[in-house]
């Protein structure tokens, strides 16, 4: 898939996932994917926990985040089961999380589309510094320490895992 292909809502639904660290471009890519499919009769619905938290006036680290996330999870799963394509903008940092999302999609009869962002850490930090200067709605300021901790926890998919998805798009970028 070259990115110009729209999700065909008359066919099987698509679960579109993003696997990336902060600053990689998930939100930009998800919004673009949402626009690409906007002309389709039943376009995908994009879910962003960060945007929902901001809309509710809650900080990224607020204890209510788990409850918001659980409610959003129930909602997108119901939509997928009813044949609606869904964009999950969250980072899908671990193999276990991606395996579970893929399993849920398959159980719903959905196609799985994984977007992986392979961006050098220094480029991520450059973008985050710029974003931190003027955070937008749903964006939490990320310190270098938090980015470094995130890098340590992040599990990048290997070739064997990528082969398990119906579609896989790798986004690369540097300075």
1 inside domain: no
2 inside domain: no
- What is the CATH classification number for the domain harbouring 118? 3.40.50.300
5 inside domain: no
The helix (run of H) or strand (run of E) holding residue 168 is: strand 167-172
Burial (CB < 10 A; 0-12, 13-18, 19+), residue 138, is middle
How far apart CA 58 and CA 92 sit, in angstroms, is 21
**pLDDT tens, residue by residue, 65-80:** 788 778 888 888 998 9
64 inside domain: yes
9 inside domain: no
Domain that includes residue 116, residue range: 14-172
DSSP H helices in the chain:
26-36, 49-55, 65-81, 95-107, 121-133, 144-153, 159-162
Question: How many domains would you assign to the chain?
Answer: 1
How far is CA 45 from each of CA 24, 37, 89, 160, 172, rounded to the nearest angstrom?
21, 10, 10, 29, 25
Q: With the C-alpha atoms ordered 119, 125, 130, 135, is the resulting torsion angle positive or negative?
A: positive
Tokens of 33: 């994917």
8 inside domain: no
**pLDDT tens, residue by residue, 26-37:** 888 888 888 876
3 inside domain: no
**pTM summary value:** 0.79
168 inside domain: yes
pLDDT per residue, tens digit, the chain (175 aa), is 444 455 554 578 999 999 999 999 988 888 888 887 653 323 456 666 677 667 777 766 777 778 877 888 888 899 899 988 888 888 899 999 999 999 999 999 999 999 999 999 999 999 999 988 886 666 678 899 999 999 999 999 999 999 999 999 999 986 4
């Amino acid at each position: 898939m070259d990115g110009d292909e729209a999700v065909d809502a008359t066919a099987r639904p698509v679960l579109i996932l993003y696997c990336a660290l902060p600053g990689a471009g998930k939100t930009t890519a998800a919004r673009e994917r949402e626009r690409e499919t906007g002309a389709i009769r039943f376009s995908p619905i994009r879910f962003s926990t960060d945007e929902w938290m901001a809309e509710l006036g809650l900080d990224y680290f607020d204890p209510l985040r788990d409850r918001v996330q659980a409610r959003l999870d129930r909602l997108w799963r119901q939509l997928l089961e009813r044949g609606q394509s869904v964009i999950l903008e969250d980072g899908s940092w671990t193999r276990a999380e991606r395996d579970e999302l893929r399993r849920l999609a398959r159980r719903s009869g959905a196609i799985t589309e994984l977007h992986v962002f392979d961006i050098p850490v220094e480029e991520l930090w450059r973008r985050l510094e710029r974003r931190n200067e003027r955070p937008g709605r749903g964006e939490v300021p990320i310190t270098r320490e938090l980015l470094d901790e995130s890098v340590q926890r992040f599990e990048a998919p290997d070739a064997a895992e990528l082969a398990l998805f119906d579609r896989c798009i790798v986004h690369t970028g540097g300075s």
